[in-house]
Amino acid sequence: MTRARKELVSVETTPYYHCICRCVRRAFLCGEDSYSGTNYEHRRGWVLERLRDLQGVFAVDVCAYAVMSNHYHLVVRLDSDRAAAWSEGEVMERWERLFSLPVLVARYRAGQAKTVAERERAQAQIAEWRDRLQDLSWFMRSLNEHLARRANAEDGCKGRFWEGRYKSQALLDDAAVLTCMSYVDLNPVRAGMADTPETSDFTSIQQRIRALAREDQEHEGSACEGDEPRLTVLGREGDDPHANAVAFTTEDYLELVDWTGRAIREDKRGAIPESIPPILERLRIDPAHFLGHVGRGQRSHHVAALGHVERFHEVVKQLGRRSIKGVGMSARIFLAPADCR
């Protein structure tokens, strides 16, 4: 049975989510449609452009992305602390970038709301907008509706562009974030569309590699070109799982993706390349099952969450659920403390 999105997305559980969205029509999101012969490569830029625009509105960070021919992947972080720090004026200004303000709220902003009841209604509306501007469903809605309208206008047609609602997975800890980011960034290599991560166009790994190569950038968090989205900074100090960055560095991540990419190209199923990146041991990730999931594309879109099993136990208790789909796959990929001795 399909669950309500609010039952699957909880910032109190984790701020990190993997989102997947697919086109419903024969015409592709981007790339060349072999049926019609039309090339939609330019639409890839639409996705990145819209992501960049929405980052100026929502309290949502982009950790990883990959824009494929008929679908895209995102790994995002919901920043509730940032949204809570916005003033009422900033909330209204951000909301107005996407939607027109109701007359009542416009009057409130101009200091023309004369009664207590009017002011309270305006304040309640602003509070609701604050919640929406840190909400995954509203973020994805604002991304997908814009892309659908633009594609429909270009195709000269109406109707659904996306295949139902987007799919999302909760990433319960840093190991899950690392694994999912790697899975997303290696999509073009796994699909045979690129030979290496650095030649994987319209992926966050290519953006990170290029940013690292630019000596004039102060830090990777601001390293972006043109309409590329800003990528979240990798690496943090402390043990807070809800801090603004994850517990692995850019160097850790690039080493792991390069190692996995070479394993994909060599295509020796069941073989583990030498010189296993230390980050796998630090985050208690099984190398063989990591390669099976990330490098060889074992499908995981049907699971609701990824993370160490002990995190599943915590989340099940927190949400009052009997179980969450994904614990079996996670038990194979992520090692228990006893298995790491």
Encode pLDDT of 7-21 as tens digits: 666 888 899 999 999
Q: Residue 69 has what pLDDT?
A: 86
Q: Residue 129 has what pLDDT?
A: 99
Angle, vertex CA 30, rays to CA 57 and CA 136, nearest 5? 30
Measure the CA–CA gap between 46 and 239, rounded to whole angstroms: 37
Are 65 and 59 in contact by the 8 Å Cβ rule? The answer is no
Q: Residue 42 has what pLDDT?
A: 87
Q: Residue 199 has what pLDDT?
A: 94
Averaging pLDDT over each range in 154-168, 190-204, 292-306, which range is the top one? 190-204
Q: Residue 151 has what pLDDT?
A: 87
In this model, does residue 314 exceed pLDDT 70? Answer: yes
Angle, vertex CA 81, rays to CA 176 and CA 210, nearest 5? 55
Mean pLDDT for the stretch of residues 101-113? 96
pLDDT tens digit string along 28-57? Answer: 666 666 666 778 788 889 999 999 999 999
Mean pLDDT for the stretch of residues 288-299? 82
Q: Residue 1 has what pLDDT?
A: 45
Mean pLDDT for the stretch of residues 74-93? 97
Measure the CA–CA gap between 230 and 311, rounded to whole angstroms: 29
Q: Residue 10 has what pLDDT?
A: 82
Count of C-beta atoms within a 10 Å radius of residue 102: 12
Domains of the chain: 5-82+135-334 (3.30.70.1290), 87-132 (no CATH)
Mean pLDDT for the stretch of residues 253-262? 94
Measure the CA–CA gap between 194 and 333, rounded to whole angstroms: 26
Mean pLDDT for the stretch of residues 196-223? 79
Q: If you ran DSSP here, which 8-state letter would residue 65 be given?
A: E
> pLDDT grade, residue 110 (50/70/90)?
very high
Q: 39 — alpha (psi -120 to 50), left (phi > 0) or beta?
A: beta
In this model, does residue 183 exceed pLDDT 60? Answer: yes
Are 190 and 295 in contact by the 8 Å Cβ rule? The answer is yes
Q: Residue 213 has what pLDDT?
A: 86
Averaging pLDDT over each range in 129-138, 285-294, 318-327, which range is the top one? 129-138
Q: Between 211 and 219, where is the model more confident? A: 211
